[in-house]
Amino acid sequence: MIKMCKNKIRLVGGLWVFLAVLLLANVVLLCGETAAQTPDKVFDVRQYGAKGDGKTLDTEAIQKALDECGQAGGGIVLLTAGTYLSKPIVLRSKTTLQLDEGAKLQAITNHADFMKTPGDWLSAKGGSDFIPFISGKDLTDVTIIGKGTIDGNGEVWWGPAEEARRKTPGYTLPRPNLIVLTRCKNVRLENITLQNSPKFHFVPTDCDGVVVSNVTVLAPAGAPNSDAIDPSRCRNVLITKCHIDVGDDNIAIKSGRKVNGREFASENITVTDCVFLHGHGMSIGSETTGGVRNLTVRNCTFEGTENGIRIKSARGKGGVVENLIYSNITMKNVDPAITFTCYYMNNSAKDPVQRSAPKEDAAQAVTEVTPIYRNIRISNLTATCERAAGIIIGLPESMISDVVLDNVRISASSGLTIRNAKGIKLKNVQIETKQGQPFILENAEVEGLETAER
């Protein structure tokens, strides 16, 4: 009898504990819902003195709004319609920079304001001598959104840079970038327009968790080194539904050095449903020393682009590039469709002076900075090319390996050159040429040539 009572007491006690836990969970849930519904605090830059009239320098007001937003634990720094002229500004954690439709945040044209040590900018030794228009370091939860525009006023920088490039093909005259975020987590750019950067537009560096969605990036086709989006040593990146029309790489994944504790500095990157117009294509490199792996590119279109899909590196700048998937790609008037080269000479197809891979080259010792490309799949690609279909060219000591072309259709003036490569497989591939053979092979092991459509 006593034992039964004890069991009932335990049961009743357990029931009360269960009910208490359930009640507490509901309270937490309700509190969470209430918190989620609480609107972020808004820091309107006009309330801090910004004019947005295209004449007044609004840097101080914008930076004060950003600082107070960060100090308050986060919120929205708002730019309503208008043109806000500014010197470089710095973002803060848990901050959303929102540019409403009709709002333009525009860099001023004074070169000295973008130099760490003001002086003759043409004598700068490197990019590190300059301050980005928008920057942030060691931040979390950074967002730039809205239907507005961030404009770098790059025209005041491009002329000398183009002149320098023509004198020395491939040379990049140091200049500031538009947006650089370094060692940040949870970065998001959405619906915004970036345009006319002095050099690269958006450079997330050593970041984890980057989403770029429905972003438009614009620069004149002749704007030198005006890369659109350049993730550098980043992980877990999504670039989707972007419209890119620039003067250099549309997207360039960079990996210029090793990162402690990570086998690959750049990894887990997805590019989907993007439109590439003028520019140098969907690139990896030229810096690949830190390694690149797990890239997926799908459902993208290229039109009038100087390159389609491209991997570019060279001895002394290389590393392992592996596990790449390109699928459902449509190209029109690209030049060429595929460029995988270990002889990148820091020049583009339309430079006035061209250098190419040597016809004869002796194998060298493999080192940590030897380019290695492997495990690449290209499927469901159609392209028309003004000149060559493309190149897959490795090194005699480091052959490009394990590449599958599946359901690929390319129409070009000349064929696809495959050199210093092994494990290349062709499945349902057709390359139509106006002259010469569709496949030009040199020291290459290619499977499926006998069944490839010609």
Give the CATH number for residue 397.
Answer: 2.160.20.10
Is there a domain that residue 414 lies in?
yes
Which residue range is the domain that position 283 belongs to? 41-117+125-345+367-447
d(CA 261, CA 235): 13
Among residues 151, 227, 245, 248, the one annotated as catalytic is 248
Is there a domain that residue 36 lies in?
no
What percent of the chain is predicted at pLDDT more than 70?
Answer: 89
Q: What is the pLDDT of residue 349?
A: 53
HEC profile for 411-431?
EECEEEEEEEEEEEEEEEEEE
For residue 208, indicate whether it is catalytic: no
Extended strands (E) in 60-110: 75-79, 82-86, 89-90, 95-99, 103-107
Is there a domain that residue 327 lies in?
yes
The phi and psi torsions of 30 (rounded to 5 degrees) equal: -65, -40
Is there a domain that residue 233 lies in?
yes
Is there a domain that residue 26 lies in?
no
- Arithmetic mean of pLDDT over the chain: 90
3 state SS of 277: coil
Q: What is the Rg, in whole angstroms, of the alpha carbon atoms belonging to the chain?
A: 26
Among residues 111, 201, 278, 280, the one annotated as catalytic is 280
Q: What is the pLDDT of residue 271?
A: 98
Pairing of strands 282-285, 251-253: parallel
Is there a domain that residue 280 lies in?
yes
For residue 248, indicate whether it is catalytic: yes
d(CA 317, CA 249): 18
d(CA 265, CA 293): 9
340-397 pLDDT per residue, tens: 999 997 555 554 444 567 778 899 999 999 999 999 999 999 999 999 999 999 999 9
Is there a domain that residue 6 lies in?
no
Q: What is the pLDDT of residue 348?
A: 55
Mean pLDDT on 95-115? 98
Is there a domain that residue 454 lies in?
no
d(CA 159, CA 112): 17
Torsion of CA 364, 366, 369, 370, to 10 degrees: 70
Structural domain count, the chain? 1
Token code pair at residue 259: 């990162």
* Cα 374 versus chain centre, distance: 21
Q: Of 31-40, 104-113, 194-203, 340-349, which gets the smallest average pLDDT?
A: 31-40
* pLDDT surpasses 50 at 21: no
pLDDT-derived band at 438 (thresholds 50, 70, 90) equals very high
Q: Check whether the bond before 336 is cis (ω within 30° of 0).
A: yes
Alpha-carbon distances of 289 from 256, 310, 317, rounded to whole Å: 5, 17, 6
Mean pLDDT on 124-147? 97
* pLDDT surpasses 50 at 5: no
